[in-house]
Chains A and B, each alone.
Chain A
């Protein structure tokens, strides 16, 4: 069994390496001169040239990549042109914020999606099923940034229940950083007021982010549960008199969750993508906004770092989902038949 996991992690590392090459190529193909871009048109030529040397732009392409890779392994990702600070410092500041949002929306997505899927199967073709299907269509159909705008409109102005900008209320001082995630740090600090404020700042962006994934999960759960409900073993269990609820929540749910989990892992990874726009709208200082600005300002080091982190997150989510699938499906666990 272990051999299988090692082989799988090996392929993922390979993918990561491939990703770093891809990102490096994209970074370097940028027309225009990043050094000139950073220092502005008026900077004298020799200063720009010095920066160019410092950024190894003069060396051949492959050596630049090798140097960059060695640096990355030593956590030295070079300096960000925008913030003038080592990229690693920016990441330490912004990454926890985005992780906070993404983990909450992932939680909503998984629990909500599966719950809605079960409900719409149980009350199939009833009014409740209809309502859930409409919600899931709306959820799937509208991009996160449209929901963001609608939420800002409703909660920002009409009925100001939840804050729609920033990470903390102006009056609240940020907690001593332990994990970098305000909600957890406040809790560790025992500061309930702070915790409530940080949480309320998180709520709207998180919900805007997760609606699409939630709807997708609900739809996949419903369709795979409906399909499995006609299989012989479910009919046999009905014939044996096993109560409807037990069949629905155990014998039908467990096999039906397998397709949902693989879709969920894709959608959770996609949260980071959508976070780009949502953080922009809620001007929430997360890693995605930082990455967005890096791309717009062609800040190579920052951009490569953010993309690599997204790749790593994607792979961790994939490994987690493989583990959950292995738990759900004994054939995968015991035969080591990984799903491609």
Chain B
């Protein structure tokens, strides 16, 4: 079996709120093979960010993980204590965030932040300033940044959103990483900048041979950047397949409905959208969470939670139409 960088099994994550426990993740299964680029596509509130944050154990204080395992490089992250985690964080994974105004520390220069990242990445000789400087400039050049020396001295607020996201990418790949996680890295950028940043991210990940988890709400972005796509709805995966396979044929009713809502460059109008609202996570129904909005739902969907079933080469779906 190709070795799996990340293997999440039946992960449940709950958040403590004033009204009680909000059961966001309801049994998530996800795996990433070494060197593979995996996309997670889903709408607001489906739990995409919670899933990746639980891999890096940077969930909010109110979050709790009642059930499930997360294997990173073969060891279960949830069982690890503080210093064991150091190795995972040191050279294991890195994360790029959505909002360019918040992804870099506003009161430190770009240089001081990059040097710190390199220093604690466990690279040989990383303590020496000169090595840090060299690696940082090399990383910035690889992300086609003009005049890296000036960039290292400047502060985040002096740079445009596009440049800041490029710096985050450079930072995450300045030292070899097993896994890069990008949470909607280009959502706040203009289309022409987004195109350049996505192509560059894909290029850098391939050159460094690390694997990528790309979170996005746009199927188009996922189609252009990833090898395999997980479609997520209300706290669990509903369908997963190789990218070109998924765009040829969608199996799960939610994925089909999502496709029809996307306005096409070739025109022809859009569907009437998906009726109803995202389920309330406070006391979600025991059955399939898409059932109340699903045109093909039948009695069994209301009571039973569909299992994740194989329906072809690497094509899985969680729906009673197929099991």
Give yes or no for direct A-B contact (beta carbon below 8 Å): yes
Interface residues of chain A, those whose CB is within 8 Å of chain B, are 230-243, 246, 250-251, 254-255, 258, 328-331, 334-335
Q: CB-defined interface of B109-126 with A at 8 Å, one 1/0 digit per residue?
A: 000010011001110000
B134-163 residues with Cβ-Cβ distance < 8 A to A are: 155, 157-158
Q: Is B191 part of the binding interface, using a Cβ–Cβ cutoff of 8 Å?
A: no
Residue of A nearest to B157 (CB): A331
Distance between A235 CB and nearest chain B CB, rounded to angstroms: 5
Q: Is B45 part of the binding interface, using a Cβ–Cβ cutoff of 8 Å?
A: no
Please report the total number of B residues contacting A with Cβ < 8 Å. 36
Q: How many angstroms between the C-alpha atoms of A125 and B245 in the bound complex? A: 50
Interface residues of chain B, those whose CB is within 8 Å of chain A, are 53, 56, 58, 60, 86, 88-99, 102-108, 113, 116-117, 120-122, 155, 157-158, 168, 171, 181
Residue of B nearest to A234 (CB): B105
| Cross-chain contact A254 with B89 (CB below 8 angstroms) | no
| Cross-chain contact B158 with A334 (CB below 8 angstroms) | yes
| Cross-chain contact A230 with B60 (CB below 8 angstroms) | yes
Q: Which residues of A contact B105 (CB under 8 A)?
A: 233-234, 237, 251, 255
Given contacts A246-B116, A334-B158, contact A238 B58 (CB under 8 A): yes
28 pairs, A vs B, C-beta closer than 8 Å:
A231-B102, A232-B99, A232-B103, A233-B97, A233-B102, A235-B53, A235-B95, A235-B97, A236-B97, A237-B105, A237-B116, A237-B117, A238-B58, A239-B89, A239-B181, A240-B89, A242-B117, A243-B86, A246-B120, A250-B108, A251-B113, A258-B107, A329-B106, A330-B155, A330-B157, A331-B155, A334-B155, A335-B157
Given contacts A232-B103, A330-B155, contact A242 B60 (CB under 8 A): no
Distance between A224 CB and nearest chain B CB, rounded to angstroms: 13
Given contacts A232-B103, A246-B116, contact A239 B56 (CB under 8 A): yes
| Cross-chain contact A236 with B95 (CB below 8 angstroms) | yes
Q: Which residues of B contact A331 (CB under 8 A)?
A: 106, 155, 157
Q: Which residues of A contact B107 (CB under 8 A)?
A: 254-255, 258, 328-330
Q: Which residues of A contact B97 (CB under 8 A)?
A: 232-233, 235-236
Q: Which residues of B contact A243 (CB under 8 A)?
A: 86, 120
Residue of A nearest to B59 (CB): A235
Q: How many angstroms between the C-alpha atoms of A216 and B99 in the bound complex? A: 32
| Cross-chain contact A241 with B58 (CB below 8 angstroms) | no
Among A235, A246, A255, which residue has the most Cβ atoms of chain B within 10 A? A235
Q: Which residues of A contact B168 (CB under 8 A)?
A: 236
Given contacts A230-B60, A330-B155, contact A241 B99 (CB under 8 A): no
| Cross-chain contact B102 with A238 (CB below 8 angstroms) | no
**Extra A-B contacts (15), CB below 8 Å, given A237-B113, A242-B116:** A232-B98, A232-B102, A233-B103, A238-B56, A240-B94, A240-B116, A240-B120, A241-B91, A246-B116, A251-B105, A251-B113, A255-B107, A329-B106, A330-B106, A331-B155
Distance between B85 CB and nearest chain A CB, rounded to angstroms: 8
Q: Which residues of B contact A254 (CB under 8 A)?
A: 107-108
Q: Which residues of B contact A255 (CB under 8 A)?
A: 105-107
| Cross-chain contact B86 with A241 (CB below 8 angstroms) | yes
Q: How many angstroms between the C-alpha atoms of A234 and B108 in the bound complex? A: 12
Residue of B nearest to A235 (CB): B58
Q: Which residues of B contact A235 (CB under 8 A)?
A: 53, 58, 95, 97
Q: Which residue of B86, B93, B98, B102 is within 8 Å of A239 (Cβ)? A: B93
Q: Which residues of A contact B104 (CB under 8 A)?
A: 233
| Cross-chain contact B120 with A239 (CB below 8 angstroms) | no
Distance between B192 CB and nearest chain A CB, rounded to angstroms: 24
Distance between B208 CB and nearest chain A CB, rounded to angstroms: 15
Q: Which residue of B106, B121, B157 is within 8 Å of A240 (Cβ)? A: B121
Q: How many angstroms between the C-alpha atoms of A250 and B107 in the bound complex? A: 10
